[in-house]
Structure 1
Amino acid sequence: MVNTLLTFWEDSDEFVNPNPVTDEMIWITEEKLGYKLPDSYIRLIKSQNGGTPVHNCFPTTIPTSWAEDHIYVAGFYGIGGEHGIDTEGIYMIEEFEYPSSCIYVGESPTAGHDAVLLDYSECGKQGEPRVIHVNVENYQDPIITFLADDFQTFLAGLLPYSHFDKD
């Protein structure tokens, strides 16, 4: 992975659950959500239970609601607490009508109208989900942008905002 877990996180407590992730928490969360979490996601949240990444942008080949050539990840959800995939993530899926075959893992700066999701629609509940960006500003016609074949590839592709800042 380009960003090692030691230098992955911003020094910020936004999106961070102060409780360290345990194997029991992972098992309970997988049971609650009905999906097996990717090993790369588990490694990430065991390093820190959610937070803001240093490299917070991912390139896209098509324009998104955020920019012409990338998305912005304000933070990753961990497990439990205010910003957990098993708490706030469930609420966001229901409230903003994201695809039900997904887990909400990455928040954008748009107050819920677009997000990074683990998409299990093609792999099943026990498979390796692909990573997508979904814009639900128009609930009747959500815009789904493929980002990566798996979460590990997504993490490795994150770039700093300065990479895209043309000013």
Structure 2
Amino acid sequence: MQLPDLQGFWQDSDYGRREYVDEPPSDGMVAEVERELGYRLPEAYVALARIQNGGIPERTSHRTREATSWAEDHIAITGIYSIGRAKRCSLLGGFGSRFWIEEWGYPEIGIYFADCPSAGHDMMCLDYRECGPEGEPRVVHVDQEGDYAITPVAESFEAFIRGLESDEAFDLE
């Protein structure tokens, strides 16, 4: 699997390092996270985490074919969760995938892996409904304020990463 050129992919910030960025995951940590969440992580997610495990991307917007609560033509993310449990914004951390399902009532369709600027009112999810827990999930936007409306964003995590754009690509008025 070939990830896009990741030069300049991540922002470097104190906040990102404190809340998201963890050490690269060992094979054992990947297996532990997969076991606890009940899903196989996409190969591209693990490959990205081996380069930098979680953080805030430079490009934080992704086009959508449908309008969402965020915008008519795109979604925005705050950060991508690390594989592990040490950081609040990690897959098993304080704001991890189970938190959004158990505390906020998000639907159990997969792994919530990225937060959005709404502070929990919408999230990004690896959606395993069509592929099963061992398959390649698509990426969807889930809107808590819109009765947990699910909007397709990308066919895979790799396509999601490749499709991230800067905010300047969109008319934000």
Q: Distance in 2 between matches of 1:49 and 1:57?
A: 20
* Contact map agreement 1:35 1:125 (CA 8 A) in 2: yes
Task: Give 1:84-163 correspondences, 5 Å limit.
Answer: 84-87=90-93, 88-89=95-96, 90-138=98-146, 141-163=147-169
Give the counterpart letter for 1:109 in structure 2. P
1:137 counterpart SS class: helix
Tell me, yes or no, if structure 1 residue 40 matches structure 2 residue 48.
no
Residue identity opposite 1:91 in structure 2: F
Establish whether residue 61 from structure 1 lines up as the match of residue 62 from structure 2.
no
Q: Secondary structure at the match of 2:75?
A: strand
Q: CA deviation at 1:32?
A: 0.8
Gaps of 5+ in 1: none
1:68 partner letter: E
* CA contact 1:20–1:49 (8 Å) conserved in 2: yes
Give, in whole Å, the separation in 2 of the partners of 1:52 and 1:71: 15
Does structure 1 retain, via aligned residues, the 8 Å contact 2:3–2:158?
A: no
Q: How many residues align?
A: 165
- The amino acid of 1:4's aligned partner reads D
CA contact (8 A) 1:12 1:51 kept: no
Q: Deviations over 1:89-123 (max 9, x none)?
A: 22122222122121011100111110110001111
Q: Following the alignment from structure 1 to structure 2, what is the Cα–Cα distance between the partners of residues 41 and 31? A: 16
Q: CA RMSD in A?
A: 1.7
Cross-structure match for 2:8: 7
Which stretch shifts more, 86-95 or 33-42?
86-95
Contact persistence 2:3–2:44 (CA under 8 A): no
- Deviation (angstroms), 1:3: 4.8
| Counterpart secondary structure, 1:147 | strand
Q: Which residue of 2 aligns with 1:26?
A: 30
Query: Deviation at 1:2?
Result: 8.2
Q: Contact 1:128/1:150 (CA < 8 Å) preserved in 2?
A: yes
